[in-house]
Amino acid sequence: MSRSRGDPDKRVKTARGRTASSTRWLERQLNDPYVREAKAAGYRSRAAFKLIELDEKFGILRGSSRIVDLGIAPGGWAQVARKKRPQATIVGIDLLPTEAIEGVTILEMDFMADEAPDAIMGHLGGPPDLVMSDMAANTVGHKQTDHLRTMGLVETAADFAIQTLAPGGQFLAKVLAGGTDAELLTLLKKNFKTVKHAKPPASRKGSSEWYVVAQGFKG
């Protein structure tokens, strides 16, 4: 997917009250081919293409009949899962309100809350084949703190996956530059047959995000 040479970059005029950083973000959005493609395809975010590309490489969605989407908002990953696995039971959770998606159960609650795992499993009807997480902590501008906060979410997601997955199941999660922390990586390798890191083409080049893909849950 690439923008033709005849399609010039769009410039955004600086509006009163808009910061320089927000202007740059808006320009980047307007000039991003994945954003345009997502809009054309009816996906809610460019993140949909990250899952599509990861699925093409690892076959993540293949054979999944029960899928958990942690941090579902705005719903791009769930849309892809629903399209590729229309018969699957899909349950998503997020603190943010998420517009309804046909065939997907959406829980508006904090995944870190004690009652969240039981709520997810109650709607799923059985052990999941796939737990996927695109969660990231709200950044505070301090690189080390932001990394620790996001990795805390990843560790909680991994613990949930290990506690609930069906044998042979898969875990997919967003991590930051440097990949999965050593302790978590050891835990995943202990519980899954293969653990790999990947950066799909849809991830912006300047982004620090990577994804960890753990497959073949040992049960």
pLDDT for residue 185: 92
Mean pLDDT over the full length of the chain: 83
Catalytic residue among 83, 84, 143, 174: 174
In a domain, 11, yes or no: no
In a domain, 206, yes or no: yes
In a domain, 35, yes or no: no
Report field, pTM of the whole predicted structure over 0.85: no
94 is in an annotated binding site: yes
The tens digit of pLDDT for each residue in 20-77 reads: 555 443 445 444 565 666 565 667 788 898 999 999 999 999 999 999 999 999 999 9
25 is in an annotated binding site: no
75 is in an annotated binding site: yes
**Between 144 and 162, where is the model more confident?**
162
Q: Please state the domain count of the chain.
A: 1
59 is in an annotated binding site: no
> Listing from the earlier edge strand, what are the strands of the sheet with 104-108?
104-108, 89-94, 66-70, 130-133, 170-176, 209-217, 192-198
What CA–CA distance (Å, rounded) separates 16 from 95? Answer: 31
The tens digit of pLDDT for each residue in 155-195 reads: 999 999 999 999 999 999 998 776 678 889 999 999 999 99
In a domain, 117, yes or no: yes
69 is in an annotated binding site: no
In a domain, 105, yes or no: yes
CATH of the domain at 55: 3.40.50.150
Is residue 190 annotated as part of the catalytic site, yes or no?
no
